[in-house]
Amino acid sequence: MEKKPEMLKDDVLKLILRENDYISGETISRTLGVSRTAVNSAVKALRQDGYGIISSTNKGYLLTEIPDILSKGSIASYLPDNRCGEVYFFESVDSTNNVLKDLASKGADTGTTVIADHQTGGKGRRGRSFASPSGAGIYLSYLLKPVSGFNRVSDLTSWTAVAVSDAIKCACGLDAQIKWVNDLLLNRKKICGILTEVSVEGESGLIDTCIIGIGVNVNESSFPAEISDIATSLSIESNGKLYSRSRLASEMIKVMDKLAADWPDNSYYLERYRELNITSGSRITAFPLMIENGQGRTGTALSINDDFSLKVRFDDGSVEDLRSGEVSVRGLYGYT
Ligand code: BTN
């Protein structure tokens, strides 16, 4: 039975992307178990998407131009074939976290990943929305279940900040830093937000699924005026250079697979978090989350504790450990 055209297009793209030279139509059709006509149609569809593919009668197909298109095939070309965990790709969803939550309830397991090019209802922390325009960012949700060490589940978000910084370094060569508790920054502006959502089993009170949602601003060239002081993209901070979102998304999946294997005991994440965080040593204002329009308290952030809480000396002389669920922290003169 022939594959569906969309699936075949992904498979053909994966093979062509992996080959640094010509790949013959015969090899593609044999590897995928489909007819030469089906391969020709898939190549035609890829050209329509913007891929530059030249064909030579004797040698086959050669990839000459790769547009920045997120697709299952292009992401898969960078991942090992034996990777556990399905990757689902969508052009547009309300929220990748919601889609993954649904898949988890139907039995999806650790490593299942949902990626979208666009979100109509991207969710941020504390009920905020997360702007998720198409063609520029990566919106990715990764499933962990069941989660041992659940009493430290908030650490997972901090581990993820470290992991995503590593992925950005590997795929794009950029050094993203961390603003406590888990925003990733370049040049003191936000390039990535992380939202971890857990579901708890009613009877036992144990966490049975953990969905880690990551949004990265990759190739945006500008941001709305109301957030342009605090948000930026990898591209803006690289003088307009465009990055391959598929390459970065695949690297994000790899670091999350490593995180899932490392969890819950690995000192690397805390050590690296301390190196990457720019909040320690800064003047900050801490705002209570539970009190609407609560008064901010100013002080100096001292260090990151072993549980990723922030040690602060307030200006009244008291020293306190701040936890992410209790306060938000802003720099004295703006965002950082
Ligand atoms: C924040 O900074 O407030 C967290 C933003 C998290 C955004 C990501 S994008 C992928 C996943 N799906 C969502 O709806 N939200 C997260």
Residue 1 has pLDDT above 60, yes or no: no
Where, residue-wise, is CATH 1.10.10.10 in the chain? 5-65
Q: Could you tell me the CATH superfamily of domain 72-276?
A: Bira Bifunctional Protein; Domain 2 (3.30.930.10)
| DSSP letter (8 states) at residue 249 | H
216-226 per-position pLDDT tens digit: 999 999 999 98
Q: Residue 121's pLDDT is what?
A: 98
Residue 200 has pLDDT above 90, yes or no: no
Across the range 193-218, mean pLDDT stands at 91
Indicate the pTM of the whole model.
0.92
Residue 332 has pLDDT above 70, yes or no: no
Pocket of ligand 1, candidates 89, 113, 130: which has the most ligand atoms within 8 Å of its Cβ, to mutate?
A: 130
What pLDDT band is residue 201 in, cutting at 50, 70 and 90? Answer: confident
Q: Which helix (H) or strand (E) holds 330?
A: strand 327-331
Taking CA atoms only, the protein residue closest to ligand 1 atom 11 is: 213
List CB contacts of 292: < 8 A, sequence separation 6 or more: none
| DSSP letter (8 states) at residue 148 | S
Kindly list the protein residues whose Cβ atom lies closer than 6 A to any atom of ligand 1. Answer: 95-97, 119, 122-125, 128, 130, 139-141, 193-195, 213-215
Across the range 176-190, mean pLDDT stands at 95
User: Which fold does the domain 5-65 belong to in CATH?
Assistant: Arc Repressor Mutant, subunit A (1.10.10)
Q: Across the chain, what does the average pLDDT equal?
A: 93
Taking CA atoms only, the protein residue closest to ligand 1 atom 2 is: 193
Tokens of 8: 């075949």
β-partners of residue 319 are 313
The atom number, within ligand 1, closest to the CA of 123 reads 14
Q: Separation of 235 CA from ligand 1 center, angstroms?
A: 19
Across the range 21-29, mean pLDDT stands at 95
Where, residue-wise, is CATH 3.30.930.10 in the chain? 72-276
Where, residue-wise, is CATH 2.30.30.100 in the chain? 283-329
Peptide bond into 264 cis (omega under 30): yes
DSSP helix/strand/coil, 210:
strand
Q: Separation of 13 CA from ligand 1 center, angstroms?
A: 29
Q: Separation of 165 CA from ligand 1 center, angstroms?
A: 16
Q: For 186, phi and psi rounded to 5 degrees?
A: -130, 130
Q: Residue 319's pLDDT is what?
A: 97
The atom number, within ligand 1, closest to the CA of 128 reads 3
What pLDDT band is residue 263 in, cutting at 50, 70 and 90? Answer: very high
The rounded percent of the chain whose pLDDT value lies above 70 is: 98
Alpha-helical runs (H) found in the chain: 5-18, 25-32, 36-49, 72-76, 96-105, 153-172, 245-262, 267-276
List CB contacts of 179: < 8 A, sequence separation 6 or more: 185, 190, 277, 278, 279, 335, 336
Pocket of ligand 1, candidates 119, 160, 194, 195: which has the most ligand atoms within 8 Å of its Cβ, to mutate?
A: 195
108-153 per-position pLDDT tens digit: 999 999 999 999 999 999 899 999 999 999 999 999 987 777 678 8
65-113 per-position pLDDT tens digit: 999 999 999 999 999 999 999 999 999 999 999 999 999 999 999 999 9
Q: Separation of 88 CA from ligand 1 center, angstroms?
A: 17
Tell me the residue length of the chain: 336
Q: Residue 2's pLDDT is what?
A: 63
User: Which fold does the domain 283-329 belong to in CATH?
Assistant: SH3 type barrels. (2.30.30)
Measured CA to CA, the distance from residue 149 to residue 155 in angstroms comes to 10
DSSP helix/strand/coil, 327:
strand
Residue 268 has pLDDT above 70, yes or no: yes
Pocket of ligand 1, candidates 70, 96, 123, 183: which has the most ligand atoms within 8 Å of its Cβ, to mutate?
A: 123
Tokens of 134: 């198409």
Q: Separation of 69 CA from ligand 1 center, angstroms?
A: 20
283-312 per-position pLDDT tens digit: 999 988 877 777 889 999 999 999 999 999
Q: Separation of 144 CA from ligand 1 center, angstroms?
A: 16
Q: Please tell me which residue, 333 or 234, carries the higher pLDDT value.
A: 234
Pocket of ligand 1, candidates 139, 142, 196, 211: which has the most ligand atoms within 8 Å of its Cβ, to mutate?
A: 139
Q: Residue 255's pLDDT is what?
A: 98
The atom number, within ligand 1, closest to the CA of 94 reads 14
Q: Separation of 119 CA from ligand 1 center, angstroms?
A: 10
Tokens of 325: 């669920």
Q: Residue 164's pLDDT is what?
A: 98
Angle at 80 between CA 251 and CA 21, to 5 degrees: 95
